[in-house]
Amino acid sequence: MLLGVNIDHVATLRNARGGNEPDTILAAEVCELNGATSITTHLREDRRHIKDADVRTLIKTLKTNLNLEMAVTEEMQKIALELTPHSVCLVPEKRQEITTEGGLDVAGQLEKIKCFVKPLLDKGILVSLFIDPTEEQVEASAATGAQFIEMHTGQYSEKFGTKLEETEFVKLKNSALLAQSLGLKVNAGHGLNYKNVYRMHEIPNLYELNIGHSIISRAVFVGLAQAVKEMKDLVQ
């Protein structure tokens, strides 16, 4: 399994004081040097962490690939078509949320997503849809033309270690198998940490995990290089 590291929280810390510390570009480089196979950033409508200039510089400087998380809006589509990141991951976005809550409702807006995805695919950008692990969302995702889904592991992470862990895990496993049978590649992410990530190995052929908060949190104590290395060891 590959490890994509989400560096949004480095930008959150930087923005707390203005200026350029900690430097997001340097953070991305350290992640890459220690095993990250891609760097993920979420350019939010309110630009609360990553800014446009970060994305532009990352695209030029990364040795691996940029996975740009973004909402299904005209503004974001325009930015993606101009900057052509390696991949985009379409996520739902609510202004007041602390982080992405729930997956994108692809089934409920299939035609809209199809139209949104087409010009991105035509430009050669890989498209991933961040969805809840349900049959309905997986089947709809396969009908959009996107090559990837990213399964939302938030519920699994939240229920980890409780009676409901198995129920949430089975949803992930079944959704991954269904998606793969429909020709989709499957990523996963949200809420994964050093304790709960190991069960992702029980899901066959997961392509990449995208992990942010737990790595940046661990980095406070052991440094970013070590935090990424430790996660890489668990994921690989």
Active-site annotation, residues: 42, 69, 190
Choice between 122 and 226, CB closer to ligand PXP: 226
Rounded to 5°, angle at Cα 209 from 59 and 213: 80
Nearer to ligand PXP, 23 or 158 (CB): 158
| Binding residue for ligand PXP, selected from 160, 210, 219, 224, defined by CB under 6 A | 210
d(CA 185, CA 180) in angstroms, rounded, equals 6
* E-only strand ranges, the chain: 2-6, 38-42, 65-70, 87-90, 126-131, 148-152, 185-189, 208-211
- Using CB under 6 A as the binding rule, the residues of this chain from 132 to 191 that contact ligand PXP are 150, 189-191
160 contact partners, CB below 8 Å, separation of at least 6: 195, 196
Stretch 48-107 residues interacting with ligand PXP (CB under 6 A)? 69, 89, 91, 99-100
CB of 214 to ligand PXP, least distance (A): 6
* Two tokens, residue 54: 């970060």
Choose between 48 and 112: whose C-beta lies nearer to ligand PXP: 48
| Pairwise CA distance, residues 69 & 72, whole Å | 10
**Which residue ranges make up the site for ligand PXP (CB under 6 A)?**
6, 8, 42, 69, 89, 91, 99-100, 130, 150, 189-192, 210-214
